[in-house]
Amino acid sequence: MVPGAVVTGRMSSVPGITVKCTTNATGWCPVFSPYRLSDTITSDTFTLSGISLSGYSYASQYNHDVDGSTDGYSSTVNR
């Protein structure tokens, strides 16, 4: 985990809008939809499009999910 990395991706609930967050000291960053979800939407999926930090390169082929609940590139949250 690397602090200060900018994580970018897209939320399925708002096509065409890129969302981003910056990792904290433990490498975690919360991703929020820029819009309030409709009451009719039961889930939303974040799909990773990139990670950037000066002095580092992002190697997407190493994406993985330790517990196997996602594909390493996207994650779905249910309401």
15 Cβ neighbours under 8 A, 6+ residues apart:
none
What is the model's pTM? 0.79
DSSP string, 21-76: EE--TTS------SSPPPTT--EEEEEEEEEE-TT----GGG---TTSSS-SSEEE
The 10s digit of each residue's pLDDT in 7-57 is: 999 988 888 889 999 999 998 888 877 677 777 778 888 899 999 999 999
